[in-house]
Copies of this chain bind each other. A is one copy, B any other.
């Protein structure tokens, strides 16, 4: 698969509002689903009984399952962690569960994604260096156990580098994990409400220690400027809920930066949301119509906007891939970024925190 690539997120075995056919039409070849959500509902037994996750959700492209580590620590309630594993209460019904590295791998083997992830401990941004160090050590021991537990040769098990915002811990984590020889490496624990410069700095500290011939996956990052700046730094795989979050407020990315379709400036605009876009929405509807659907909170609004947002991000990645082949990536990136007004950092961080604190979020 040509990289860099962006994976739409389908936590609950559905990329919100859209069908597998629509994802394929836009050009996506790989998506992400989430072990935590699917373990709780409908349960892995049912997915297995129904022929695995690809068949369950009718997706015949490639698929990656996240281990659920991030969700257990950020979404579940009352998680308790020790070296054995992590005990948590479901955010849905409060039931108690214990996930060990071995169980995490078994669940992912039963679902049958093409790429699966190790169980990791993702510490919150505000944790002390001691806590982060402890979590990173545990992540390493779990990674080793995951590797041992993994039996399906047709699945690629990726390691996850942690280490918080310490360059030293990031170095140690990258070194330890690469010594275990995974077929691919993710960088976890970033884009959790820290500044962008800190995110980029941690990527810079990590990527050079990861093998050049194996895919590098930056988890949970998907804003256009972050993707461009991370591709520059050697990242191959991205995922994010940004294009598929069912944002009732109507926000979306454009080449100029963030816009909002609910804004009354769109009320009478006969042109599509983006006249240069070739998505179903922009080919068939005026911006005024999409604005109307948002104002009415019609469900078609979220679907039409999701199609547009996914097309925007897919087009961005397509252009990045082409510019790399043409050896013009740096000028493409600089051209894009010069016209792009990034979201205000304070606003972005406060929105991220608000989202991380949402109990019933189901999007990653």
Contacting residue for A286 out of B50, B267, B284, B293, CB 8 A: B50
**Interface membership of A142, Cβ < 8 A:** no
Chain A 151-169 interface residues, beta-carbon cutoff 8 Å to B: none
**Interface membership of A16, Cβ < 8 A:** yes
Residues in B whose Cβ lies below 8 Å from that of A219: none
Q: Are A299 and B246 in contact (CB under 8 A)?
A: yes
Q: Are A299 and B299 in contact (CB under 8 A)?
A: yes
Residues in B whose Cβ lies below 8 Å from that of A12: 292-293, 296, 298
Q: Are A41 and B268 in contact (CB under 8 A)?
A: no
Residues in B whose Cβ lies below 8 Å from that of A57: 289
Contacting residue for A289 out of B56, B284, B296, CB 8 A: B56
Binary B-proximity of A128-159 (CB < 8 A = 1, otherwise 0): 00000000000000000000000000000000
**Interface membership of A49, Cβ < 8 A:** yes
Q: Are B17 and A299 in contact (CB under 8 A)?
A: yes
Q: Are A300 and B18 in contact (CB under 8 A)?
A: yes
Q: Are B362 and A288 in contact (CB under 8 A)?
A: no
Task: Report the separation of the CA atoms of residues A155 and B14 in the bound assembly, to the nearest whole angstrom.
Answer: 43
Tell me how far the C-beta of A290 lies from the nearest C-beta in chain B, rounded to whole angstroms: 10
Tell me how far the C-beta of A53 lies from the nearest C-beta in chain B, rounded to whole angstroms: 11
Chain A 44-101 interface residues, beta-carbon cutoff 8 Å to B: 46, 49-51, 56-58
Residues in B whose Cβ lies below 8 Å from that of A299: 16-17, 246, 299, 302-303
Q: Are B50 and A19 in contact (CB under 8 A)?
A: no
Residues in B whose Cβ lies below 8 Å from that of A122: none
- For A57, give the chain B residue with the smallest CB separation: B289
**Interface membership of A42, Cβ < 8 A:** yes
Q: Are B56 and A286 in contact (CB under 8 A)?
A: yes
**Interface membership of A355, Cβ < 8 A:** no
Q: Are A17 and B268 in contact (CB under 8 A)?
A: no
Q: Are A14 and B288 in contact (CB under 8 A)?
A: no
Tell me how far the C-beta of A51 lies from the nearest C-beta in chain B, rounded to whole angstroms: 8
Binary B-proximity of A9-32 (CB < 8 A = 1, otherwise 0): 000111011111000000000000
**Interface membership of A270, Cβ < 8 A:** yes
Given A42-B292, A50-B288, A292-B13, the answer on whether A19 and B267 have CB atoms closer than 8 Å is no
**Interface residue ranges, A against B (CB under 8 Å):** 12-14, 16-20, 41-42, 46, 49-51, 56-58, 246, 267-268, 270, 280, 284-286, 288-289, 291-293, 295-296, 298-300, 302-303, 362
| Contacts A/B (CB < 8 Å), 6 sampled | A13-B289, A16-B299, A42-B267, A42-B291, A46-B268, A298-B362
